[in-house]
Structure formats: C-alpha cells, structure tokens
Amino acid sequence: METEKKIDRNYLELFRDLIHKKLGIYISQEKDYLLESKLGRMLAKSEFENAAQLYYSLKDNDNNILEELIRYITTNHTFFFRENLHLKILRNDILMRKKSNPLIWVAAASTGEEVYSIIIELLENGINNFTIVASDINKHVLVSMKKGIYSIDRMKEIQPSLIRKYFDADPDNMSLYRIKNLLKPNIIVKKLNLVEKIKFEKKFNYIFCRNVLIYFNRDTQIQVVNNLLDNLEDDGYLFVGHSESLMNICDNVESVFTSVYNKKI
C-alpha cells in the first residue's frame, strides 16, 4: 500500500484554491477525504517535510512540482469506444457533408483510447485523410498515448476482429496489446491546459471535450467552453460527455444530438 503523510487541515483550503486556479479542477469540501489522500501520497513521495513546504513551492511556480500535482490530482480513467454513438455521429457527418481532410481536436485525451477509437472508426468507414490534435494537461498520459500499449480491461468494447486488425498482442504479457503504427501518423500530440487561453492557427471541424467538464465548477466550465468555441468552425460540432449538458452554461450553442452541439449563428 502507498504511504501517505498527514496534510495539515489549514492547508486544505489553500490547496483547493491553488488547484482550482492552476488546473481548473474544483474539489468540493465533500471530497476533502480524496484531496487529503491524493496530497498525502504526493507529499510522502516528495522531498518536502510538510504541506506548507509543498504548498509554497507550488505557489512559487515550481514547474516540476506542478507536473507532479497534475499527475496526482487528475482522473485519467477512459476506455476504448466510450460513448460510442458519438463516433458514429462523427463519421456519418464527415461522409454526409463530404468534409475533406477534417481537423479534429480531442481536448482531454488522457492515455489515448478515445483518439485511437476515433481513428479506427474513421478508417473502418473509408475515411483516411484527417488530422487529430490530441491534448491533455497531464504530460504522463500523453507519453502513454504515444506508446500506445493498453491493457485488455480497457478494450472490452472493441470487436475481436478490430483487435486483430489494429493491435499486436504483447508476446511477454497476455493482458497487453500494442496499437499498430498505422494508427499513429494522423495524430499531433500537445500538452494544453484548457483553462488557459488557447488559439490554434486553424479552426477545427470537430472538437471532443468529453468527461472533463464534470471536474470544473460552473464559471470554469463557461470559460473552457468559450475557449473551445473560439477554436471551432462556425459549422463545426462540439462533443461533450453524456453527463455534461451545455444547456445551462452556454447560450450561443444548440444541441444537434445527445451531448453534441453547434454554434448558434
């Protein structure tokens, strides 16, 4: 079991604010047990003796410590073909509206299962020309995405024929599979924090930002959604998670399918 150091209660509030400011993630008081445990484990693994030292080094913008904080605080759970209906909506729209070389941004891509699911869906439907920008705030998940090695538990939603076509079994570990290199050339990987102002040179036809807004409070959700919309083509689609409605947080979008929005023009 991982060891934990005690976090002085007086510092919890300060860490809550700092995490909210730097990562956008708002951990409410009901989840203090989680915050204490995550910070306690981080502190035990660090060179710091107490919560005060850890807090002030983060406050002084020590980048290595901030990366560690991001690693401990973010929830990176994901799996292949999650909320699969969105993938069908995407490929139908590309085919129906004859979008050539669509530009897609997967804005909280975690370890890459979502990105590779999109690519498999497109290739299986004869869509070979596209570019995907895959981003996340956590640099460690981006490294895993580039490696593309996955445990079979994340692959339950993939048909066996597609596993054979797009993955190689790891000869040394029966529960691991490696993504074939043919899925990698269309991806550009970037470390991006959604609460910072982001401006890409070209606007996207499709943006996926799924299962991350739930970690933000309403003000941050508004800020992040506006940031995303600034980078979306006027006729583009924004996909959010199935439990993340934009209806009460944004007036300038309309719903086109479940959890899929476009701009009101």
Ligand X SMILES: C[S@@+](CC[C@H](N)C(=O)[O-])C[C@H]1O[C@@H](n2cnc3c(N)ncnc32)[C@H](O)[C@@H]1O
Binding-site ranges for ligand X (CB under 6 A): 23-25, 74-78, 82, 108, 110, 114, 136-138, 141, 193-195, 210-212, 215, 241
Least distance (Å) between residue 110 CB and ligand X: 3
How many other CB atoms are there within 10 angstroms of residue 18's CB atom?
16
Taking the least distance from each CB to ligand X, the nearer of 5 and 148 is 148
CA dihedral 9, 11, 15, 16 (to 10 degrees): 50
- What number of other Cβ atoms are within 10 A of residue 198's Cβ? 17
| Closest CB to ligand X among residues 5, 195 | 195
Beta carbons within 8 Å of 85's beta carbon, 6+ residues apart: 257, 258
Q: How far is the CB of 156 from ligand X (least distance, A)?
A: 14
Shortest distance in whole angstroms from residue 201 CB to ligand X: 20
Query: Smaller CB distance to ligand X: residue 196 or 254?
Result: 196
Q: How near is the Cβ of 75 to ligand X at its closest, in Å?
A: 5
Structure tokens at 194: 């959604």
**What sign has the CA pseudo-torsion 236, 241, 243, 246?**
negative
Of residues 74 and 231, the one with the C-beta less far from ligand X: 74
State how far the Cα of 111 lies from the Cα of 108, in Å rounded to an integer.
9
